């Protein structure tokens, strides 16, 4: 069977580049009340005619046949209703010639669990000694986590006191209820009880049950609120702590890994507080109260009960140790999987371009498969623990029944007390069993939460000096409380013994991931009026030198001084008020145009109606001026249709690359920085956008004292009238001087790079003329 469709040529906005396009034709089947759907699925081909395969489907099933057909392309012949049916039946695995994600058969899963268990016990031959040692370590760890929860999680006395108070009261009422149940059953069974005795038992049962329900409900709400507050506090503090870490921290920790800690691991902490700790403490209190009743009824029989509970507790300790180790491994594998997912989403266009969807899908599936294996081990371990603990409890209960029968037959205890004793035996055993289960889950959470608290308490290697205080960012156009000084254009004052704005003194920078230092023995001064270009081949250390000036990295040897002060003695806010950066691919936030330009600067006014902080008219005018200077018009009726309050979307997708670059220029110059740093500002732009950005930069440099630029394009060096070039090679300064002087030396590295780009001497072409 063959079908032909043709796609109209004008339909070029195809948004399903990752997913195969599906065409459906719904035809009535011979059978009544049933439809058979045929879905046409595109196979990979770049020709005009593409191969398709039919997928037959019904409302209850979807199966694949091998019939193929050749079709041409015409969207106009496709009915919208058919598209809706195709969408509802779309299967990404079937259409990509893939099958459902594979899982192991249960026998293989059990075999993997058995191997894991054998390996676990073989590595711990002295299990009793190990458990005792780890129990001490666990108590120490739990004590640390308790302090963390009380401080870092914000679990304060206003929520702790009522939570534990109602927990205690609820457990007390729960422990009294079996006593009244025993009395009620005794009154009904013996038929010798008076109405007063029966009424007393029923009223007591009703009152205690009502109070138990009331206290339990309040306790549950308070612990739930405590868990939510813990999640809120920990998540906010963790996010802030991560933002304050040095750049090298993010070089070695993937974004997906950190997001996993911020989300799933933090959720574990809230769950521990709202549920596991709640249950453990409640059941432990009920265990204590129930044990008091058992001892009161029969101390001798109580010893048998406690002996069995000790065995169950030992079993829970072994299981808890295993569960904790498994939980740590599971959380790590989930973090790895999240890192894979985050990378694939952030690089979606590259994945589409190189048809890497299946590759990334396989990576994610492999990471999830590891997690699934460990989760199944957790499940089998829980089942084994449950089977053994329940079996021990059953044996204990049977033994106690025989003991109670023997005691009752000898006349040691009346029948009413034996009935109550058996009630409390079941009550105490259930409580102890629940304590063991939840204790194991708390140990699992300890593994997850420890990494979170470690990240919160991690002290950044590069941080503000303790004695400097928190300086706020300067106001727009203001430097150190005064208007920006007049700018010295195209020339510096080193001959007049004026101190440099920034000085690099014997700077060496090393990265953990690199064997060779990124910078070695760098000595350079940037004076007021300097326009400096850092030039060199890829990997020569240009960007490292720029980022070191921003103190993204600290030198391992040497020092960097800003206005005569070591950068390590300045706060981040103080550095940001003197130095601004325009990146090669500037990051634009999903907020208004004005908020992007004023990013990092506090709002200076308050809305009279809402009371919310806002930017004043003075700030708005300054932003408009800076945007206009950078080539982004915001006046009414401008050709771009932009205003200060226009939201530009995530990543600034509503703006072109050149427009985003100019927004970044406005964001940099609004602070009137002493030093403007440019990192390949035109590298990713076409020639027209580059021309406009260069014009914006020329105007921007009139608002700042000095400029340092990293560039591969030497044409930009002339366009921006750079007066000094520093040439780097393998992390060292090999040449320095005026660009035209370096061009005169045909043996210089700068001249060699210029020849590769078609740049020739000024004397040949005339003033400021380029050959390229």
Question: What pLDDT does 749 receive?
Answer: 92
Segments of the chain assigned to CATH 1.20.1560.10: 110-457
Question: What pLDDT does 227 receive?
Answer: 80
Least confident of 149-153, 302-306, 409-413, 658-662: 149-153
| Paired strand residues for 499 | none
Question: What pLDDT does 566 receive?
Answer: 92
Helix (H) and strand (E) counts in the chain = 24, 18
Residue 277 has pLDDT above 60, yes or no: yes
Question: What pLDDT does 136 receive?
Answer: 61
Burial of 697 (0-12, 13-18, 19+ CB in 10 A): buried
pLDDT confidence of 454, banded at 50, 70, 90? Answer: confident
CB atoms within 10 A of CB 356: 17
Residue 736 has pLDDT above 80, yes or no: yes
Question: What pLDDT does 522 receive?
Answer: 93
Q: Which CATH number fits domain 478-584+673-765: 3.30.450.40, 1.10.150.120, 3.40.50.11930, 3.40.50.300?
A: 3.40.50.300
CATH topology classification for 110-457: ABC transporter transmembrane region fold (1.20.1560)
- Interatomic CA distance for residues 215 and 222, integer angstroms: 11
Least confident of 133-137, 203-207, 262-266, 361-365: 133-137
pLDDT confidence of 725, banded at 50, 70, 90? Answer: very high
Per-residue pLDDT tens for 170-191?
888 888 887 888 788 878 877 7
Question: What pLDDT does 129 receive?
Answer: 52
Q: Once rounded to an integer, what is the mean pLDDT over residues 201-225?
A: 88
Q: Which segments within 426-530 are labelled E, that is strand?
A: 478-479, 482-483, 502-509, 519-526
- Interatomic CA distance for residues 72 and 6, integer angstroms: 4
Question: What mean pLDDT value characterizes the chain?
Answer: 74
pLDDT confidence of 764, banded at 50, 70, 90? Answer: very low
Place of tokens 């460990």: 374
Per-residue pLDDT tens for 11-42?
333 333 333 333 333 333 333 343 333 333 33
Question: What pLDDT does 762 receive?
Answer: 59
Question: What pLDDT does 532 receive?
Answer: 93
Q: Once rounded to an integer, what is the mean pLDDT over residues 668-688?
A: 82
- Interatomic CA distance for residues 560 and 554, integer angstroms: 9
Least confident of 410-414, 609-613, 656-660: 410-414
pLDDT confidence of 525, banded at 50, 70, 90? Answer: very high
* Between residues 650 and 270, the one the model is more confident about: 270
Q: What percent of the chain has pLDDT over 70?
A: 73
Q: Once rounded to an integer, what is the mean pLDDT over residues 634-648?
A: 83
Question: What pLDDT does 765 receive?
Answer: 40
SS (H, E, C) 555-617: CCEEEEEECCEEHHHCCHHHHHHHEEEECCCCCCCCCEHHHHHCCCCCCCEECCCCCCEECCH
Residue 220 has pLDDT above 60, yes or no: yes
Question: What pLDDT does 559 receive?
Answer: 93
Segments of the chain assigned to CATH 3.40.50.300: 478-584+673-765
Contacts (Cβ under 8 Å, ≥6 apart) of 270 = 227, 228, 230, 231, 234
Residue 48 has pLDDT above 60, yes or no: no
Residue 230 has pLDDT above 70, yes or no: yes
SS (H, E, C) 234-295: HHHHHHHHHHCCCHHHHHHCCHHHHHHHHHHHHHHHHHHHHHHHHHHHHHHHHHHHHHHHHH
- In contact, 665 and 697? CB cutoff 8 Å: yes
């Amino acid at each position: 069977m063959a079908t032909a469709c043709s796609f109209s040529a004008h339909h070029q906005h195809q948004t399903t580049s990752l997913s195969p396009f599906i065409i459906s034709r719904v035809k009535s089947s011979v059978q009544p009340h049933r439809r058979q759907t045929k879905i046409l699925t595109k196979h990979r081909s770049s020709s005009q005619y593409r191969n398709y395969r039919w997928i037959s489907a019904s409302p209850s099933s979807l199966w694949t046949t091998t019939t193929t057909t050749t079709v041409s392309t015409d969207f106009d012949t496709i009915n919208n209703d058919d598209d809706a049916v195709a969408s509802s039946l779309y299967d990404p695995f079937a259409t990509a010639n893939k099958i459902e994600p594979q899982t192991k058969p249960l026998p293989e899963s059990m075999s993997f669990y058995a191997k894991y268990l054998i390996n676990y016990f073989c590595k711990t031959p002295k299990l009793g000694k190990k458990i005792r040692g780890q129990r001490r370590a666990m108590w120490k760890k739990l004590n640390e986590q308790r302090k963390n929860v009380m401080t870092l999680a914000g679990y304060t006395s206003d929520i702790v006191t009522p939570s534990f108070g109602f927990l205690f009261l609820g457990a007390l009422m729960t422990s009294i209820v079996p006593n009244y149940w025993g009395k009620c059953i005794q009154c009904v069974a013996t038929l010798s009880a008076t109405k007063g005795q029966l009424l007393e038992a029923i009223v007591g049962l009703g009152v205690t049950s009502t109070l138990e329900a009331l206290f339990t409900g309040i306790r549950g709400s308070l612990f739930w609120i405590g868990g939510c507050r813990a999640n809120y506090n920990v998540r906010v503090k963790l996010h802030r702590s991560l933002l304050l870490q040095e750049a090298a921290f993010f070089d070695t920790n993937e974004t997906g890994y950190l997001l996993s800690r911020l989300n799933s691991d933090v959720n574990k902490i809230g769950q521990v507080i709202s549920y596991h700790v709640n249950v453990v403490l409640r059941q432990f209190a009920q265990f204590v109260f129930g044990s008091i009743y058992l001892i009161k009824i029969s101390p001798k029989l109580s010893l048998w009960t406690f002996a069995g509970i000790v065995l169950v507790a030992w079993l829970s300790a072994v299981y808890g140790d295993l569960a904790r180790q498994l939980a740590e491994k599971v959380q790590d594998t989930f973090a790895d999987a999240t890192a894979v997912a985050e990378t694939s989403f952030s690089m979606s266009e590259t994945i589409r371009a190189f048809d890497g969807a299946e590759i990334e899908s396989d990576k994610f599936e492999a990471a999830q498969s590891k997690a699934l294996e460990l989760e199944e081990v957790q499940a089998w371990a829980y089942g084994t623990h449950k089977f053994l603990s329940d079996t021990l409890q059953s044996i204990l209960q049977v033994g106690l029944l025989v003991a109670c029968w023997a005691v009752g037959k000898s006349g040691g205890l009346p029948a009413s007390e034996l009935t109550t004793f058996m009630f409390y035996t079941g009550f105490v055993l259930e409580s102890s069993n629940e304590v063991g289960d939840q204790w194991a889950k708390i140990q699992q959470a300890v593994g997850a939460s420890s990494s979170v608290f470690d990240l919160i308490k991690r002290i950044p290697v590069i941080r503000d000096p303790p004695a400097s205080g928190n300086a706020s960012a300067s106001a727009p156009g203001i430097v150190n409380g005064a208007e920006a000084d007049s700018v010295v254009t195209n020339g510096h004052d080193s001959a007049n013994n004026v101190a440099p704005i920034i000085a690099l003194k014997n700077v060496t920078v090393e990265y953990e991931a690199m064997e060779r230092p990124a910078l070695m023995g760098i000595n350079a001064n940037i004076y007021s009026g300097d326009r400096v270009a850092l030039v060199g081949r890829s990997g020569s250390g240009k960007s490292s030198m720029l980022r070191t000036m921003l103190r993204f990295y600290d030198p391992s040897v040497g020092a960097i001084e800003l206005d005569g002060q070591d950068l390590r003695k300045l706060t981040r806010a103080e550095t940001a008020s003197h130095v601004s950066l325009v990146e090669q691919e500037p990051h634009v936030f999903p907020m208004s145009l004005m908020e992007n330009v004023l990013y990092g600067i506090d709002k200076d006014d308050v809305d009279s109606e809402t009371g919310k902080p806002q930017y004043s008219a003075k700030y708005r005018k300054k932003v408009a001026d800076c945007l206009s200077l950078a080539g982004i018009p915001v006046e009414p009726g401008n050709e771009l249709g932009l205003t200060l309050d226009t939201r530009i979307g995530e990543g600034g997708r509503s703006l072109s690359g050149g427009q985003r670059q100019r927004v970044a220029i406005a964001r940099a110059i609004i602070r009137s920085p002493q030093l403007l740093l440019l990192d390949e500002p035109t590298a990713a732009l076409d020639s027209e956008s580059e021309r406009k950005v260069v014009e914006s930069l020329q105007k921007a440099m009139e608002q700042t004292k000095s400029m340092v630029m990293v560039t591969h394009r030497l044409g930009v060096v002339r366009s921006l009238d750079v007066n000094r070039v520093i040439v780097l090679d393998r992390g060292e300064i090999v040449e320095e001087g005026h660009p035209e002087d370096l061009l005169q030396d045909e043996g210089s590295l700068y001249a060699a790079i210029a020849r590769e780009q078609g740049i020739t001497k000024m004397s040949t072409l005339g003033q400021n003329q380029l050959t390229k």
